[in-house]
Structure 1
Amino acid sequence: MEKQTTMKATKPKLSFWQIWNLSFGFLGVQFGFALQNANVSRILSTLGADPHDLPIFWMIAPAIGLVVQPVVGAMSDRTWNKHFGRRGPFIFGGAIAATIGMFLMPNASAFTAYIPAIWFGALMLALMDGSFNVTFQPFRALVADMLPEEQINKGYSVQTFLINVGAVVGSALPFILTGIGIQNTAPEGQVPDSVIWSFYIGGTTLLVTVLWTVFSTKEYPPKEYAMYNGVDEAEVAKEEKKGFLELLKEMPTVMWQLAAVQFFSWFALFMMWVFSTSAVAQHVWGTSVDDTSSAAYNEAANWVGILFAGYGVFAALFSLVMDKIANKYGRKFTYAIALFAGGIGYVSMYFITDQNMLMASMLGIGIAWAAILAMPYAILSENLPSGAMGAYMGIFNLTVVIPQLLSGVVGRFLIGLFDKQAIFMLVTAGVCMFIASALVFIVKDKKKA
């Protein structure tokens, strides 16, 4: 931990709209991320991927995140640009790359003269998710950089609300476009227009909202940043120069404790993103395990987008009261109860065969999602050295990508064990969420209710 070498000045409180602007770009990033999560399995299946192999394709993205997250975190700590600030260059750069991926991925079949469509789709998935990873960590660190301690819970709650507004619209967009007459089916091997236009709209929204955050937020320059964190610039510079292994060795205990919770919660989320389309199509619409192109399959895929939008709505609503609950009852209690609700949501899907009733399952999943996006970062922000805030946030985000990688490996085995009956993957996700809820109680949060 760094030494407190100077008097720590109190960061000025920000207005609600200043806090809003900090995370407004995250709305666009999550718009794109939600489109990816709800539609990539659909796109890859359309391009020829076997359901048994979907986890392998999905592993590309977290594998890139494994490298990108800590590197971007460390680099953003050491960056200062008078126009774009400390975190802004990475948020902006990641958004441009993600937008390119979103415009190209649904058009993979147009590049078959140069590369097989399935591999082009996989490359665009890697570009999109890698770029999303570039933006995630700086947005997390930006809230910690700019807000005083008493506004941290509020800052991450507002961020969670905006994330879920983006997720709701992104998840529902193919369904909405289908409703206004855009074609939702296509010849075998081609992506429907409803999905293609959703990705165009998502990419544009991503870029516009990120530009808003970058140009409306003025980050603290190095001298003010050091003053507000109670350290001199030399001490900050010393912290910034530490290597990955040294930072890992000095990692606060609370990070290891939160990593255990993160492992099981993100393992569960990855299962949901990969297998929900197949699970709903098979379990509710009654499609065969190998069906990836029928009208019933595409109808189920659109409904999964609505379900994902549903859990986004519930997450957004819960985020409006989450900081108040956390302030009154403690962040650990709020986090644990939310994850337990998520476990109930996943397991309940096994017992439901009516498409509308599945929305009840999304209530629990949405509550869990809101807490996952806010509580660990709120806990973490008060336990990290200021000079390495970005680096440690980047390292912490490995607790997001590593579970996804392992979930991809294990998921490929499990789906075979379950004879491709994807609903059992969601039950497995529920069990993982229950474990995550129990592990919250090992976390030592220095701030009590």
Structure 2
Amino acid sequence: MLEIQKRSSNLFLALLSLPATAMGFALSIQISTLSWILSTKYGLEIEEIGLVWAAGPIAGIFGQIIIGFISDNVWFWNGRRRPFIVIGGTFAALMLLALPSIDIISSALGMDGVLGIAITIALLLDLSINVSFNPTRSIIADVTSSHYRTRGYTWMQTISGTFGVLAYAIGALLGKYFLIYLGVGLVFSFSVIPCFFIEEPRWLQTQQEETEGNNRPRQISGKEVMIVLQPLWGLLLFAAYKIPVRLLGVNISGSYFEFLCLALTIAMLVYVYLKGSRKEDNLREFQKILIAHAFTWLGVQSMFVYMFAYIQDQLPSMGHREIGSVIDISFLLLNLVGALLPVIALEPLTRIIGRVRTHMVSIAIMALSYGGIAFIGKSPVLLYVFMILAGVGWGATVSLPFAIMSERIDKSRMGLFMGIFNLSVVLPQLVASLQVGNIVQDATDKSIIFFICAISLGISAILWMFVRESRQQAPEKSLVDGSTTSH
């Protein structure tokens, strides 16, 4: 083991952050280029672009939970997370290489149209990223103590966010195709090389305790997983219905099923937040984190996917290249603040008012920023100002929730629960791609995008107000931390 790992030095935390940085850089390239290429080069409609973006969350639903569960229970190449980081990073680099060649691939296969190929490449890219993303985050919890975990995740966001800023700067200054080809090499090297300098523990905390007691770690059943996912049942039902309907091209009039999913989501939210418990309950708090984080990502993903439509509508005199430049500068500023703030301000603030309150305030600032864009963000300068403010919430979103939720789960099942936690990201992304896109398509004023974002993030901030801060002493057991108790 390297001496810097023994001491959990800042240098080691930076090294530990590089695999997650690789996946974040790949996502930044996708965010910067995918909608722009599909709209300007291939002429796809907003609804079709939303369908392409839906491929990623579909990959996340299956990829992160399955890979998370497997990575908790295997050991090869001298690692638990290492094999999946190396394999996922390699394939992510290859799929980035395919992004600019959608039309060439379509022609080579003798296909008429690019939509099917675009969906396939987006699906494979996101599947590759999702194979790695869960392990890149889980490994931070595996090799850091509770004392250093918040610092580990804030360092992750600082390094990853800095390279995200670099991605958008390159896209704006040197062009999106240069960004893609540079990203191929960076994603591969940052995924593969650091893994061989990080020593993973052969046994995780609870596994070690159970092994010493001659007991095999208890496996969590599918029923127990569904109990944990209770607040997301409405979103799961929406995904199970909407994905096959859209992929098969079935035309169904009315929105009755969507209202049913919304009603179920509200009912489960109320149940989770109002069921009585004065004691600290890991399961209940983890469920509250899931639904609060889900509303965050509904707002965030809607902005990422449909920003181009807002700019086209509000600034109609701009050409395709100018629109792409405004998008890149906006995301650059968002990520610049998101990269610098966690280590400079958020992590120190968590030691004063706690992780949960820090995160809640950050999300509220982001909601107000999106509201400002919806009402008065009608010029590039105003858009940039509000995106800087929104960066406060973005920096918190991609760092603090991981530290918050990691204190509520069984450390020996970190991969599985990180995958479950990821459903609070990918399911809202599906709603943004498959439902919000329809609303945006039909709206005459595209500023509705940021009204949706502001409302969603406002709800999230309110929900985070009722999440309890984890105490240092051992909390009451629940199935989330390894007992057989169910609720």
Q: TM-score range by the shorter chain?
A: 0.7 to 0.9
Kept after mapping to 1: 8 A contact 2:207/2:412: no
Query: Is 1:358 matched with 2:383?
Result: yes
Alignment of 1:63-142 (within 5 A): 63-83=58-78, 85-113=79-107, 114=109, 115=111, 116-142=113-139
Query: Is 1:406 matched with 2:416?
Result: no
Runs of 4 or more consecutive aligned structure 1 residues displaced over 6 Å after TM superposition: none
Query: Is 1:337 matched with 2:334?
Result: no
Distance in 2, matches of 1:236 and 1:313, equals 48
Alignment RMSD (CA, Å): 2.1
| AA in 2 matched with 1:132 | I
State the partner residue of 2:402. 377
170 and 237 in structure 1: CA distance in 2 versus 1, 3 angstrom threshold: farther
Q: 261, 264, 268: which one pairs with 2:299?
A: 268
State the partner residue of 1:147. 144
State the partner residue of 2:241. none
Greater CA drift, 38-47 or 65-74 = 38-47
Secondary structure of the residue aligned to 1:238 is coil
Secondary structure of the residue aligned to 1:357 is helix
Kept after mapping to 1: 8 A contact 2:333/2:387: yes
CA displacement at 1:296 relative to structure 2: 1.1
Query: Is 1:53 matched with 2:32?
Result: no
Q: 461, 464, 471: which one pairs with 1:440?
A: 464
CA displacement at 1:271 relative to structure 2: 0.6
Kept after mapping to 2: 8 A contact 1:343/1:433: yes
Kept after mapping to 2: 8 A contact 1:280/1:423: no
| AA in 2 matched with 1:277 | F
87 and 250 in structure 1: CA distance in 2 versus 1, 3 angstrom threshold: same
Alignment of 1:240-255 (within 5 A): 241-249=219-227, 252-255=283-286
Kept after mapping to 1: 8 A contact 2:56/2:123: yes
State the partner residue of 1:174. 171
Q: Deviations over 1:290-342 (max 9, x none)?
A: xxxxx712211122011101111001111122111011111111011100111
Kept after mapping to 1: 8 A contact 2:228/2:287: no
CA displacement at 1:80 relative to structure 2: 0.9
Query: Is 1:346 matched with 2:336?
Result: no
Kept after mapping to 1: 8 A contact 2:32/2:171: no
CA displacement at 1:381 relative to structure 2: 1.0
CA displacement at 1:371 relative to structure 2: 0.9
Query: Is 1:206 matched with 2:187?
Result: yes
CA displacement at 1:409 relative to structure 2: 2.6
Return 5+ residue gaps in structure 1 as ranges: 1-10, 178-193, 288-294
State the partner residue of 2:10. 16
Distance in 1, matches of 2:93 and 2:213, equals 38
Secondary structure of the residue aligned to 1:356 is helix
CA displacement at 1:425 relative to structure 2: 0.7
Distance in 2, matches of 1:169 and 1:130, equals 24
State the partner residue of 1:257. 288
| AA in 2 matched with 1:93 | I
State the partner residue of 1:185. none
State the partner residue of 1:286. 316
Kept after mapping to 1: 8 A contact 2:367/2:457: yes
Query: Is 1:394 matched with 2:419?
Result: yes
| AA in 2 matched with 1:71 | I
Distance in 2, matches of 1:66 and 1:271, equals 18
Q: Deviations over 1:51-107 (max 9, x none)?
A: 233222211110111111110110010121243x11111111111111111000111
Distance in 2, matches of 1:384 and 1:76, equals 16
Q: 303, 312, 315: which one pairs with 2:338?
A: 315
Distance in 2, matches of 1:166 and 1:328, equals 29
Distance in 2, matches of 1:308 and 1:44, equals 18
State the partner residue of 1:232. 211
Kept after mapping to 1: 8 A contact 2:168/2:331: yes
| AA in 1 matched with 2:421 | F
Q: Deviations over 1:231-271 (max 9, x none)?
A: 436778423x3344334446722221011111111001111
Distance in 1, matches of 2:215 and 2:418, equals 16
How many positions carry a matched residue from both structures? 409
Secondary structure of the residue aligned to 2:319 is helix
Return 5+ residue gaps in structure 2 as ranges: 230-282, 473-487
| AA in 1 matched with 2:470 | K
| AA in 2 matched with 1:432 | S
Kept after mapping to 2: 8 A contact 1:35/1:199: yes
Q: Deviations over 1:146-204 (max 9, x none)?
A: 11111111011001111211211112222121xxxxxxxxxxxxxxxx32221111121
Kept after mapping to 2: 8 A contact 1:13/1:147: no
TM-score (norm 2): 0.80
TM-score (norm 1): 0.86
Secondary structure of the residue aligned to 2:398 is helix
Secondary structure of the residue aligned to 2:380 is coil
226 and 416 in structure 1: CA distance in 2 versus 1, 3 angstrom threshold: closer
CA displacement at 1:211 relative to structure 2: 1.7
Secondary structure of the residue aligned to 1:128 is helix
Secondary structure of the residue aligned to 1:422 is coil
117 and 54 in structure 1: CA distance in 2 versus 1, 3 angstrom threshold: closer
Distance in 2, matches of 1:48 and 1:236, equals 59
Distance in 1, matches of 2:351 and 2:207, equals 23
State the partner residue of 1:189. none
Q: Deviations over 1:88-139 (max 9, x none)?
A: 1111111111111100011112123213323222211111112111211111
Distance in 1, matches of 2:95 and 2:336, equals 26
